[in-house]
């Protein structure tokens, strides 16, 4: 019995060691690559891309931050890309439950619950080059541009204004009836009072 335990322990140690080593440029088994995908490398650093699945910082050291990423990891990466946050707040009266937010100067609001990223909201003022969707849609983009890259449907009887949803999980608000530019975008859990 003792020989089996020793053999099992050695085998387990060998598997752990094998899992930790990898060829240069590849990730160990069971891990995703730490190298930025090609589309991230071609983008200038210092921006973020907001999607229906989370946030991604741009540039060679770009970081994917899906919903459920820890607040610490998200804030470190986004602060590296956009600069220090403007502020942090907490709202205990959200319909989705208590929510904490981190707001950046360029109109980016990141939403957290229980220490994890659950959503984002993008509003004016924003620098269109620094905070957009991966397809380049941001605050001030005409909805006609968004329709070229997304399937878009109005949200009927929205109490929040001219609201639309995309097939990628991104919502958007437009200005008044005479304005077809996007006023704000969002995804995930937000604190909207409908």
Rounded to whole angstroms, how far apart are CA atoms 149 and 174? 17
Q: How far apart, in Å, do the first and last CA atoms of the chain sit?
A: 66
Q: Is the pLDDT confidence value at 8 over 50? A: no
The β-bridge partners of 57 are 48
More confidently predicted of 192 and 41: 192
What long-range pairs does 73-81 form, CB within 8 A, spacing at least 24?
74/102, 74/110, 74/112, 74/117, 75/102, 75/110, 78/48, 78/102, 78/104, 78/108, 78/110, 81/45, 81/46, 81/47, 81/48, 81/57, 81/130
| pTM, 2 dp | 0.76
pLDDT in tens, 14-44: 333 333 333 333 333 333 334 444 444 456 6
Q: Is the pLDDT confidence value at 5 over 90? A: no
Instruction: Tally helices (H) and strands (E) across the chain.
Output: 4, 12
Token pair recorded at residue 180: 């077809």
CATH number of this structure's domain 34-188: 2.60.460
Residue 43: predicted pLDDT:
62
**In 3-state terms, what secondary structure has residue 135?**
coil
Residue 80: predicted pLDDT:
92
Residue 130: predicted pLDDT:
86
pLDDT in tens, 107-162: 999 999 999 999 999 998 766 678 999 999 999 999 999 999 999 999 988 888 88
CB 128 within 8 A of CB 141: yes
Residue 194: predicted pLDDT:
61
For 110, residues 6+ apart whose C-beta sits below 8 A from its C-beta are 55, 74, 75, 78, 101, 102, 103, 104, 117, 119, 120
Residue 106: predicted pLDDT:
82
Beta strands in the chain (DSSP E): 48-51, 54-57, 64-66, 85-91, 99-104, 108-113, 116-123, 131-132, 152-154, 163-166, 170-174, 182-188
What's the mean pLDDT in 185-194? 88
Rounded to whole angstroms, how far apart are CA atoms 152 and 167? 7
């Amino acid at each position: 019995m003792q020989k089996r335990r020793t053999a099992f322990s050695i085998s387990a140690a060998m598997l752990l060691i094998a899992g930790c080593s990898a060829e240069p440029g590849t990730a160990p088994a069971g891990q995703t690559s730490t190298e930025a995908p090609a589309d991230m490398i071609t983008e200038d650093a210092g921006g973020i891309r907001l999607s229906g699945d989370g946030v991604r910082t741009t540039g060679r050291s770009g970081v994917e931050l899906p919903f459920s990423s820890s607040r610490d990891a998200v804030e470190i990466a986004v602060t590296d890309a956009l600069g220090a946050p403007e502020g942090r707040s907490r709202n205990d009266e959200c319909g989705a439950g208590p929510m904490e937010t981190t707001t950046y100067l360029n109109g980016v609001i990141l939403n957290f619950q229980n220490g994890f990223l659950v959503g984002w909201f993008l509003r004016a003022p924003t620098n269109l080059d620094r905070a957009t969707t991966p397809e380049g849609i941001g605050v001030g983009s005409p909805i006609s541009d968004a329709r070229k890259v997304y399937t878009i449907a109005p949200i009927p009887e929205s109490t929040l204004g001219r609201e639309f949803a995309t097939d990628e999980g991104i919502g958007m608000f437009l200005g008044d009836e005479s304005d077809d530019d996007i006023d704000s975008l969002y995804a995930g859990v937000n604190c909207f009072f409908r």
